Structures are given as C-alpha cells and as structure tokens.
Amino acid sequence: MAATKRVINFSPGPAKLPEDVLHKAQAEMIDYGGTGVSVMELSHRSSHFVKIIGSAEKNFRDLLHIPDNYRVIFTQGGGTGQFAAAPLNLMKLKEGATADYIITGSWSMKAAKEAEKYGTVNKVLPKLDKYTVIPDQAEWNLNPDASYVFYCANETIHGVEFHHVPDTHGVPIVCDMSSNILTRPIDISKFGVIFAGAQKNIGCAGTTVVIIRDDLIGHAIPECPSIFDYKTMVGNNSIYNTPPTYSIYIMGLVFEWVLHHGGVEIMEQRSHDKAKSLYNIINLSNGFYSCPIDPDCRSRMNVPFRVGSPDGDEALETKFIDEAASKGLMSLKGHRSVGGIRVSLYNAISVSDVHILTEFMRNFYLEQKGVILAQG
C-alpha cells in the first residue's frame, strides 16, 4: 500500500476530523463491535445502532450540560433544512406570524429569505453595507410580539462571531451554531432552539443536531413535512425514518474525542489560543495582511483576511494560496463572495497546525517585503 498522505486541512466544511476519530472508524469499518458488518450496514432499529445514537446523545448532553427540559434530535437536510424547520415549527407561536432576524452575514441572510416563505420577517439591524460589525443592541429594532428571534452565532463566510447571547426580553431565541458548536461552554437555558450541521465542528456531512426546549414542540403548521416537525422527530427519538446512521456514528466518535480532550472548556481555551496567534500575525504585519472585521466580533473559527492591501492584491493572494498548498497547508481560499484568504480553525485543528501556518505567513511576508525593498 502507498504511504498515507496527510495535509493540514483548513477547510470551512466539510472540515478536518480528528485523526483519532478516523483511525477508530477505520478499525471498526469492516466489523463493528463483533457484529460482522459495518455501521453502514446495520439496521437503524437494531440494538447496536440504538446504542450508538443513544450514547451520542448522552455525550452531547454531558458536554453542553443540556437541561432536562430540552430535547436533542439528529436530522437530515443540513443547516439549510433547519432554516425552513424554524419557521415551519415556530412562526405561528404568536398570532402575527412574524419573526425577528439578526442579519450579520450570508448565512443569517439565507435563513431570513427562507423564513419569508412562512411569515413576516423583521430585519433587526440597521442596514449594513458590509458584514464586518455587530451593531450595539441599543440600535436594534426588536419586535416584542415576534414569535422568535433568529441569529447565527458564527458567520462562517464573513468571519463574524457573537461573543455574547443577545437579550431578547423573553422572546425565544433560535440560533444557528453550525460553525462554532462545542467550541465554548454555552448557557442552553437562554435559547429556544439551537441547531448545527455536523460537517464543520462535530463530524461529517449528513446529519444536523437540533436542541429544542420542550414548550416549543408541537406548534408546527399543518403543512410542515413530518421530517421537519420537531414533534415527530422528538416523538420517534430521531428514528421516524432512516436516519443518516454513519454520520451519526462519526458524530458520536467526535463527541467522545471532545470529552476525552477535556470538554468544551478546553476547546474554548484552544480556540482562543489558535485565533489569537493568527490575529496577532495579521495585526503585526503593518497592513500586509488585513482583516476587515471589527475586533469585538472577530470569529475564532473562520478568519478572513486580504493580502497586500485592504482590498487584496489578487495575484499575491493566488501566490499565497499556491505556496501554502505546496507546503501542505490546504483550503485557504476565501469564499468567492468575499475573496482573499479564509482560515478555518475548528476543534480538529491543533495549536501546532496553526503555528505552522503563522510561520508560513511570517516567511511569506518577509519574502515579499524583500522583493518590495529590492524593487524600490
């Protein structure tokens, strides 16, 4: 067999998984726990799979200290499916069928567009021409009669992250945590619904985890597809139809890995250290690297920046991406709507992975400065 090649994968998602998880899955691939079949070939109603999903849920609840009055489900349809599920289940909580959307980037904007199919969407923030800030709550236009308030905890494309939970004066919060779940402790009791697609921080593509407060179950509109109805999914312990069994299994392995590595408290520490060393090198580069995001809401997970000038020197950025790739530093190209570079720092990225990247960035900067000096 050829030697195994591994690179440092800074992809925004599907993203790097802990190598321990891949090795465990590899070891169990052909014969899962003495069953003689792989997890992919197990019946979703078999005792083995029921144990896999049960222990995934238990570990997830332990990691986030999820209170007893919240249910956890594993669904399909991704974060995008949940953009529809939220209004389908919650828009009619109140007569007016209106919902507040705090739009801080492309993902919350997409969520708002989906919700407009099912009710009236109130855009809470003053109009932003760029997604680089979260305006102070004093400037928000929250509607006290909204059925719920939606926000995205971390805008994966724009690199804007909430470092606090908004105060909605008792209106239930629906939060998209697709790209920062399990990276810090959270007070679940402040939320109505939290959802996250697995493929960024907690597993591979295919499943989406949803945390729902009991009193928000059972309010879906009659047209709501059964697979998106919280009540149906909760009532059947996520096995109403065939769930994405292998994706749930991988997610369970990631939960074990996070527990084994000290839980979300340690993930928070690591996230802080990784982001700090990257933002430091950007800040110390005299504008060679520039990140447009307000320092108060810079993401610890996705760090967008430009190279050469604040608007980006595209030729230099291509050179940066190519040279990085030649050193095994992969998937650094920014989203096409933003341009430049984006570094994603999910839980599976280690502190030393980030040090290798910052060393590269330092050398690239010095090399270019040398070129500029020589040309000058």
> By the criterion CB under 6 A, which residues form the site for ligand PLP?
13, 78-80, 107, 152, 156, 176, 178-179, 197, 200
Decide whether 156 or 238 has the Cβ nearer to ligand PLP: 156
Assess whether 257 carries a catalytic annotation: no
Tell me the three state secondary structure of residue 176.
Answer: strand
Assess whether 68 carries a catalytic annotation: no
* Residue number with the smallest Cβ distance to ligand PLP: 78
Assess whether 107 carries a catalytic annotation: yes
Kindly report the number of other CB atoms within 10 A of residue 72's CB atom: 19
Catalytic residue among 200, 229, 257, 274: 200
* Closest CA relative to residue 251, chosen from 5, 14, 8: 14
Strand ranges in the chain using DSSP code E only, listed in sequence order: 8-9, 70-75, 98-101, 120-123, 149-152, 154-155, 160-161, 173-176, 193-197, 208-213, 289-290, 302-307, 329-330, 341-344
Instruction: In whole angstroms, give the CA distance from residue 21 to residue 42.
Output: 20
Measured from the CB of residue 102, what is the shortest distance to ligand PLP in angstroms?
A: 13
Cis omega (within 30 of 0) for bond into 12: no
CB 105 within 8 A of CB 151: no
Instruction: In whole angstroms, give the CA distance from residue 7 to residue 5.
Output: 7
Measured from the CB of residue 191, what is the shortest distance to ligand PLP in angstroms?
A: 15
Catalytic residue among 107, 229, 257, 333: 107
Measured from the CB of residue 352, what is the shortest distance to ligand PLP in angstroms?
A: 25
Decide whether 76 or 358 has the Cβ nearer to ligand PLP: 76
Token look-up 């007569």 returns 95
Measured from the CB of residue 183, what is the shortest distance to ligand PLP in angstroms?
A: 13
Decide whether 159 or 312 has the Cβ nearer to ligand PLP: 159
Measured from the CB of residue 110, what is the shortest distance to ligand PLP in angstroms?
A: 7
Between the CA of residue 141 and those of 42, 111, 144, 278, 314, what are the distances in Å?
A: 50, 18, 10, 34, 38
Decide whether 16 or 200 has the Cβ nearer to ligand PLP: 200
Catalytic residue among 16, 92, 100, 176: 176
Decide whether 147 or 199 has the Cβ nearer to ligand PLP: 199
Catalytic residues: 107, 176, 200
